[in-house]
């Protein structure tokens, strides 16, 4: 059986990839409108506080959810268990964000359907001024 403590010790907090993203105005508007947003801060480029919907950064990925040498945990395909988005500041069209990927946590839970392993993938986004603007945690679940 996989030693989760050893995996935690080796991988939690280790940044394994980064990428840059330029925030596109049309994508920001399409996202907000499709979600039924009616607040002009998120839909109207003429609004003085125009910005991306708070969870827009959750679609920005470095392309890799796990470090290259990360051990295989559990069986089957991972299930998307959910997303947590923390907003530290506004993300505006034209911003250049740097996203840094890390493993934030690894743990297991046992329930009626057996033991499940949870891997929390974290992306921290800073803008072109070096300000942390968004943190996105993606929860991936595998059966053990």
Binding site for another protein (CB under 8 A): 26-42, 53-56, 58-59, 80-87, 139
* Nearest approach, Cβ of residue 36 and another protein (Å): 5
* Nearest approach, Cβ of residue 111 and another protein (Å): 13
Q: Which is nearer to another protein, 7 or 85 (CB)?
A: 85
Both tokens assigned to 103: 């493993």
> Sign (positive/negative) of CA torsion 129, 47, 93, 59?
positive
* CA atoms of 81 and 95, how far apart (whole Å): 29
Q: Which is nearer to another protein, 56 or 125 (CB)?
A: 56
Both tokens assigned to 106: 């690894």
Both tokens assigned to 88: 């530290």
* Nearest approach, Cβ of residue 24 and another protein (Å): 9
Q: Which is nearer to another protein, 33 or 131 (CB)?
A: 33
* Nearest approach, Cβ of residue 5 and another protein (Å): 25
Contact yes or no for 80/88 (Cβ under 8 A): no
Q: Which is nearer to another protein, 28 or 119 (CB)?
A: 28
């Amino acid at each position: 059986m996989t030693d989760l403590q050893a995996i935690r010790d080796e991988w939690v907090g280790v940044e394994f990839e980064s990428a840059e993203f330029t925030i596109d105005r049309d994508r920001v508007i399409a996202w907000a409108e499709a979600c039924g947003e009616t607040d002009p801060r998120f839909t109207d480029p003429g609004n003085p506080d125009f910005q991306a919907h708070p969870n827009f950064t959750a679609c920005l990925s470095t392309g890799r959810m796990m470090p290259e040498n990360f051990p295989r945990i559990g069986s089957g395909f991972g299930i998307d268990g959910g997303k947590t988005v923390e907003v530290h500041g506004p993300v505006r069209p034209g911003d250049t964000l740097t996203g840094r990927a890390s493993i934030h946590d690894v743990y297991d839970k046992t329930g009626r359907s057996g033991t499940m392993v949870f891997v929390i993938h974290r992306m921290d986004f800073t803008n072109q001024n070096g300000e942390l603007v968004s943190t996105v945690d993606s929860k991936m679940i595998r059966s053990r």
